[in-house]
Amino acid sequence: MNIDYLIVGSGLTGAVIARHLADLSRDVLIVDRRAHVGGNVHDHAHASGIRIHTYGPHYFRTSSERIWEFATRFSPFFKYEAALVSDIGGEFAQWPIAGSFIQRLVSRDWRPEFQGSPSNFEEAALAIMPRKVYELFVKEYNEKQWGVSATSLSAKLCGRFDVRHDDEPRLKPNAKYQGIPVPGYAEWMRRMTEGIPLLLNFDFLARRDEIRPKKGLIFTGPIDEFFRCDEGKLAYRGQRRQHTYLPDVATFAQPAGQVNAPLHAQGPHVRTLEWKHMMPQEFAERIRGTVLTTETPFSPTNPNEFEYPFPDEANAQLYARYRRRADALEGVLIAGRLGEYRYYDMDQAIARAMALAEQLVSGADQSRPAADFSEV
């Protein structure tokens, strides 16, 4: 097969790189071991007409004009600004936590319990919120999410949330553009890859000697699997999703699209999603009934179920060893959420993929042919 670039994985990273290269008249082939395009950026329609995000909720947001222009190139978006709540013993409280709630629950003049440089997740959380709030909203939620004690998790994990001293309820209030594709994520991704040759149900790792690109391989699967896990397997967490249709609910069953269940006593699930909240209001109002989805964390062994890189030091060190080897390969780029072993929001993934594609066409595009990755 006479192609310039082989892209393994049709998720956001692979699709954006492929689109960029194809727009510049490079011959590109995408292969994916799943039966659909788009990786985890996918949705499907319930019989009721409610659209379900297949691999969990996707909230698109960005302040970048360039990223927004790229995203809306493939479909219009309707405005959706995610606002989450946590169920605290039957009371719904906004998340991220409101400063007024802390004042009511603890006191107006509370002081952080932890001072200094945190060495783990618990210390980092106690540096920004009272212990009582931490124990209600954060500690057990993250223990359910990761399956380990909070003190064994990386302090960096706290960078994904904050305390809202102004009581701002929206998840990302500073993002200029927020929304969901009008035709859905599956169609959005299909349009992004339209016109680019694509092979689905193709397991590259089992067939890596079958296709030889002239200029380069872009691999967006798990970096450890590329090297046959010869230094050990990186850990991930995924979510088991259980859907329940409630036909007799006239409007909504929940006060928000996402309700967190942060306590062990509430069960093993970490949140319940109500998809009608994530539809244009004029369509949601026409649908009687609703679909709720509970998400329960687990440790997957099937790469198709890998969702969250595990945030601890042992896995960070193992990834660093694989990354050094990946960076030494000629004509091979290992990238994306699984390839770089880090969680990317969608706008971050697009920005990263754009930058990598530009590097390819300005540098690696002119370099030697791809290495013999069939022997890696």
Claim to verify: residue 148 and residue 186 sit in the same structural domain: no
Domain boundary among 260, 282, 303: 303
- When pLDDT is cut at 50, 70 and 90, the band that residue 50 belongs to is very high
Residue 173: inside a domain: no
Claim to verify: residue 219 and residue 359 sit in the same structural domain: yes
* Arithmetic mean of pLDDT, 292-297: 98
Q: Over the Cα atoms of the chain, what is R_g?
A: 22
| Dihedral pair phi/psi, residue 336, rounded to 5° | 95, 180
- Tell me if 335 sits within 8 A of 353, measured CB to CB: yes
Asked whether residue 352 carries a pLDDT value surpassing 80, the answer given is yes
Claim to verify: residue 226 and residue 317 sit in the same structural domain: yes
Contacts 24+ apart (CB under 8 A), 322-327: 322/223, 322/224, 322/226, 322/227, 322/231, 322/234, 323/223, 325/227, 326/223, 326/226, 326/227
Residue 172: inside a domain: no
pLDDT at 46: 95
- Give the C-alpha separation, 230 to 15, whole Å: 28
Determine the Cα angle at 350 with ends 21 and 71, to 5°. Answer: 90
Mean residue pLDDT of the chain comes to 93
Amino acid at position 24, single letter: L
- Give the C-alpha separation, 269 to 243, whole Å: 13
pLDDT at 160: 80
Coil, helix or strand at residue 301: coil
Low-confidence winner among 134-138, 265-269, 281-285 (lowest mean pLDDT): 281-285
Claim to verify: residue 104 and residue 146 sit in the same structural domain: yes
253, with CB counted inside 10 A (0-12, 13-18, 19+), is middle
The domain tally of the chain equals 3
Residue 165: inside a domain: no
Residue 61: inside a domain: yes
Asked whether residue 373 carries a pLDDT value surpassing 80, the answer given is no
Q: Which tens digit of pLDDT belongs to each residue from 199-235?
A: 999 999 999 999 999 999 999 999 999 999 999 999 9
Residue 172 burial (CB count, 10 A): 15
Helices 65-72 + 346-362 axis angle, to 10: 90
* Arithmetic mean of pLDDT, 292-310: 96
- Give the C-alpha separation, 319 to 313, whole Å: 10
Claim to verify: residue 9 and residue 57 sit in the same structural domain: yes
Claim to verify: residue 183 and residue 116 sit in the same structural domain: no
| Dihedral pair phi/psi, residue 308, rounded to 5° | -125, 115
Residue 94: inside a domain: yes
Residue 236 vs residue 165, higher pLDDT: 236
Quote the longest CA-to-CA distance of the chain: 68
Which residue(s) pair with 86 in the sheet?
93, 260
| Domain encompassing residue 148 | 84-160
Determine the Cα angle at 170 with ends 246 and 163, to 5°. Answer: 115
pLDDT at 363: 76
Which residue(s) pair with 296 in the sheet?
240
Residue 142: inside a domain: yes
Claim to verify: residue 64 and residue 200 sit in the same structural domain: yes
- Give the C-alpha separation, 87 to 374, whole Å: 50
pTM of the model: 0.93
Residue 166: inside a domain: no
Claim to verify: residue 344 and residue 228 sit in the same structural domain: yes
Claim to verify: residue 42 and residue 9 sit in the same structural domain: yes
pLDDT at 374: 47
Percentage helix, strand, coil for the chain under 3-state DSSP, each rounded to 5: 35, 20, 45
Claim to verify: residue 35 and residue 93 sit in the same structural domain: no
- When pLDDT is cut at 50, 70 and 90, the band that residue 366 belongs to is very low
- When pLDDT is cut at 50, 70 and 90, the band that residue 90 belongs to is confident
Which structure tokens are listed for 114? 């932890």
Q: Is the peptide bond before 96 cis (omega within 30 degrees of 0)?
A: yes
- When pLDDT is cut at 50, 70 and 90, the band that residue 375 belongs to is very low
Claim to verify: residue 268 and residue 361 sit in the same structural domain: no
Claim to verify: residue 315 and residue 228 sit in the same structural domain: yes
DSSP type of residue 98: B
* Arithmetic mean of pLDDT, 11-26: 97
* Arithmetic mean of pLDDT, 108-132: 91
* Arithmetic mean of pLDDT, 48-68: 97
- When pLDDT is cut at 50, 70 and 90, the band that residue 31 belongs to is very high
Q: Which tens digit of pLDDT belongs to each residue from 238-253?
A: 999 999 999 999 899 9
| CATH number of the domain encompassing residue 339 | 3.40.50.720
